[in-house]
Amino acid sequence: MQFFKRLFNRQSFSVGWSVSWRAWLAGAALQFAIVVPVVLWSVFQRSSTADTAALHQRFDTLLELTSPFVLVALIIVFNWIGKAVLRKRNLPVPPRFIGWAIFWRVMVLSLGLGLTAWMLILLPVVFWLRFPGADTVAVFAALAALFTIALCSHGWATLRVSRTSSEE
């Protein structure tokens, strides 16, 4: 029970919001920075290739190949974002690389608790109650729960890394 009190509190939600919107902007910028050269390449290839289906397939393949680079870059950016948020809130900032520590904690919590939220909220309402509009209400409730879980996971992971650095 102590874990859930640390996970779902005002401070972890607030820190999670600060980390999440910065991570979302960084992820969008990284994806855009990688997509633009691919789009330019496909535009120049279009003039030399008449088969648009093959060009579209190559474009999709290139985007799939660039996703791991965005993921690695985002882990590196998590280091910068986490430290910036901790500094802004006057919390202990670890001198070491914290991007991976934040990333894996967020992924484990978000996936584990997110799947649980979908199972606990969506399945009973949609499959057992079966009244009109239940699926819409359940989807909105599940999305709100997932959003809260994601924000609290980001905040908890960042605060956990900060706490472990102050204990060292």
- pLDDT band at 126, cuts 50/70/90? low
Give the per-residue pLDDT at 81. 92
**Which of 29-33, 63-67, 121-125, 148-152 is the least confident region?**
121-125
pLDDT for 68-90, tens place per residue?
Answer: 877 888 889 989 999 999 999 99
State what percent of residues in the chain have pLDDT above 90: 17
| pLDDT, averaged across the chain | 79
Record the tokens describing residue 167, joined without a space: 């204990």
Rounded Cα gap, residues 105 and 103, in angstroms: 6
Q: Cα 147 vs. chain centroid, distance in angstroms?
A: 10
> Please, where are the H alpha helices in 49-168?
52-88, 99-117, 123, 134-167
Give the per-residue pLDDT at 64. 74
Domain range list for the chain:
2-167
- In residues, how long is the chain? 168
pLDDT for 34-58, tens place per residue?
Answer: 777 777 776 776 666 566 677 677 7
Which is more confidently placed, 104 or 146? 104
Rounded Cα gap, residues 90 and 11, in angstroms: 13
Give the per-residue pLDDT at 128. 58
Instruction: Flag whether pLDDT at 99 surpasses 80.
Output: yes
Which is nearest to 19 in space by CA: 107, 64, 81? 81
**Reported pTM:** 0.71
